Chain A
Amino acid sequence: MNRVIRAAGFLLLALAITVPARLDLELQFDAALAVIYGLAILSLVLLTGYVGQISLCQATFMGISAFGTGMLVNTFHLNYFVAAAAGVLMSFLVGIVVGIPALRLRGILLAVVTLGVALVFDKYFFLDSAYGWFTGGSFGWHVSGTHVGSIKVDSLHVMPAYYVLLGIFVLVALAMLRLHDSGSGRRFRAIRDSELAAATMGVDLTRYKLVAFGLSAAIAGLGGALYPLVVGSVSAQPFSFLYSLQFAAFAVLMGIRYVPAAAIGGFFMGFMPVILVRLSHSLHHDIKYDWFQVVLGALLVAQLILLPDGVWGDVRQKLDHLQVKAPRRKVETA
């Protein structure tokens, strides 16, 4: 089973490397967005799937690094990638600060607090003129692009940025797969299963929870930091609380405990709008983007009733059961 999944993973990675180069610019752009969303969902797999901490403000973490990068590039004229690294650092720090309430709170109450954080940033900090020095005012930041050696990267040449993003995604995903069974990963999962038991076994809850929040914010921030490069500008709309909720919905829907769920979720989030638009064109009937969210909400509700471990988790489990059951039946009939 694992061998099949690994082979499928390599095949998909090969497709992800080769196919977008042949697509038109709009689809290339969506491919890059898909990886950015994938990183945001991956950050939830770490925080919620591994460590059991709820966050409804991953888009906020993305936004902080995106705005931070835009600000550093525009105001201080830093090299784009230096600015991006600083942006990720900002997300990391904000993540640790948001993690502080998590030291006292669990479950739904943490969900309330992080939803509050998302709304405050979405409706206030990202939009209010008082913070224009960070958000670039009502028009946001314009980012004209950068050069890697002699290769131009901007919103009209997104492939280099796409490859950088894909590389980051693969690295983070592999690191998380390794983390799962490492010492730290076991401590993270111990916190998820029972904080009390974990603390009794000597896990430093404060340290591990804050690190988890910081790392998760930084992973989301990696996508956010490269967002301005792909899109060419930064504004508040893509980091609204609705995206945070969509990330959470997709992560839970696909299987929040599993790394591949992030790839699947990111793919759908990135491509669904353009698929809807092209479908409307070919059907001569306008299908609004809102339908995507309607379907997502309905699927999430149905999934939580029917497939509690998410699509990936439950489908895998069923397949594993099939494999185990098949030889057993033979023994019975023999």
Chain B
Amino acid sequence: MLIQLEAYTVIGLTVGGALALAALGIVLVYRVTGVLNFANGAMGMFSTFVAWTVIYDPGWSRLRPAFLPEQVWVWFAVLIALVFSVGLGLALELGVFRWLVGRSQLIKAVVTIGILLLLQSGASLIWGNTQYHLPVNVVDPQRSVMVARVPVGWNQLLVMATAIGLSLGLAAFLQWSRFGVAMRAVSDDPIAAGLWGIPVRWVGSVSWMLGSLVAAIAGILISPFINFDTISLTLLVLDALAAALIGGLVSLPLTVLGGFALGLLETYPRIWIQSQDFPKLIALLVILAVLIFRARRVLLEKQA
């Protein structure tokens, strides 16, 4: 029984790490541009499928030179997907959100729903929406280490470490780097920031690129742990929103803590309840609880 509990803890922390990663992208974009991105999961899904194509599509995998180990080719695929995700973020900012500056927050959120529909059905046109797809394994899925008598997969460790590392890294970037200060300035007051010579548009573009990049990292790292198809990754946005709300849509470290807590909360009931999609209920309850008890903190109503 105890071993079981520990095993579930490992699973919960893995799920939590992935949720935290997805939530980081949402928080980053929301903080700087005031857009609550419902398409965050869909963007990550699309980029993950780009990596999948490079690895498994015969047309692409044929290009792999014979001397290159398969694992290296996977890393190359991930690199291409990450470059793609940056391009996707930039394209969305230049093509869509730049034209919505000054519009209400709600309009921007509805636009992201349009993008969600677009990416979701676009992906199922390209990759099919029902088939099961092989996951993108950044590290060998067979390898694991023993922690407290429970085997912890390398890929599980990778998710957790990336979530913690990325959140601390991004928080430090926002806090201390010159560009991070510019991002925070734009987030506080875009007009004043512009008057001080900060390239407001460029800052907005960078935050979209970063948000898309983080969403892609989240999608790629979580693909071995879920039923990897076009829908599940898109739907991850609800759990990610729950984690982001725990962080008040502002704090990166709190968001990651929220992600881990939510991951555990979603996983422990599985000891008793055999249901694939039960966690969505937990996510909704967490969202409601956060909004009821912390409504004032969350409702900073950025009318950017």
Contact = CB atoms under 8 A, between A and B. Distances in A.
Interface of A: 54, 56, 101, 104-105, 107-109, 111-113, 115-117, 119-120, 123-124, 127-128, 130, 241-242, 245-246, 248-249, 252, 288, 290-294, 296-301, 304-305, 308
Given A111-B109, A115-B38, A290-B122, A300 B117 contact: yes
Nearest to A52: B106
A291 B125 contact: yes
Interface string B104-119: 1111011101111111
Contacts of B295: 104-105, 109
Contacts of A127: 277
Interface stretch (B52-60, B183-191, B285-293): B285-293
A54 B110 CA distance: 10
A291 B126 CA distance: 11
B245 interface: yes
Given A101-B291, A124-B277, A291-B125, A301 B245 contact: no
Given A109-B291, A290-B121, A293-B120, A117 B284 contact: yes
B176 interface: no
Interface of B: 36, 38, 96, 99-100, 103-107, 109-111, 113-122, 124-125, 129, 235, 238, 241-242, 245, 275-278, 280-281, 283-284, 287-288, 291-292, 295, 298-299, 301
B265 to A, nearest CB: 15
A115 B110 CA distance: 12
Given A109-B291, A123-B235, A252 B110 contact: yes
Given A123-B235, A290-B124, A290-B125, A249 B117 contact: yes
B287 A113 contact: yes
A300 B275 contact: no
- Closest 8 A/B residue pairs (Cβ): A297-B118, A300-B114, A293-B121, A297-B117, A116-B284, A123-B277, A290-B121, A301-B114
- Could you tell me the dominant secondary structure of chain B's interface residues? helix
Contact of A120 (B99, B114, B280): B280
B118 A120 contact: no
B242 to A, nearest CB: 8
Residue with the greatest number of chain B CB neighbours at <10 A, chosen from A101, A241, A248, A304: A304
Given A105-B291, A109-B291, A123-B277, A296 B117 contact: yes
A124 B278 contact: yes
A54 B288 CA distance: 16
A236 to B, nearest CB: 11
Given A107-B105, A297-B118, A249 B113 contact: yes
B125 A294 contact: yes
A249 B114 CA distance: 7
Given A105-B291, A107-B105, A119 B118 contact: no
B292 A104 contact: yes
A312 B20 CA distance: 41
A116 B113 contact: no
B270 to A, nearest CB: 13
B274 to A, nearest CB: 9
Given A116-B288, A245-B113, 20 more contacts: A107-B105, A112-B287, A115-B238, A115-B241, A116-B280, A120-B284, A124-B278, A249-B110, A249-B113, A290-B122, A290-B125, A291-B125, A293-B118, A293-B121, A294-B117, A294-B121, A300-B110, A300-B113, A301-B96, A304-B100
Nearest to A104: B295
A138 to B, nearest CB: 13
B114 A298 contact: yes
Nearest to A248: B113
Nearest to B235: A119
B298 A308 contact: no
Contacts of A112: 36, 238, 241, 245, 287
A54 B114 contact: no
Contacts of A109: 291, 295, 298-299
Contact of A108 (B105, B242, B284): B105
A273 B100 CA distance: 31
A25 to B, nearest CB: 28
A112 B280 CA distance: 13
Nearest to A297: B118
A294 B120 CA distance: 8
A256 to B, nearest CB: 10
A245 B103 CA distance: 21
A115 B109 CA distance: 12
A97 B120 CA distance: 30
A275 to B, nearest CB: 17
Nearest to B286: A116
A305 B110 CA distance: 11
B291 A104 contact: yes
Contacts of B115: 297, 301
A119 B114 contact: no
15 contacts: A104-B292, A107-B109, A111-B106, A112-B287, A116-B287, A119-B238, A120-B284, A123-B276, A123-B277, A123-B280, A124-B280, A248-B113, A297-B115, A297-B117, A304-B110
Contacts of A105: 291, 295
Contacts of A245: 113, 116-117
Given A116-B283, A120-B281, A301-B96, A108 B113 contact: no
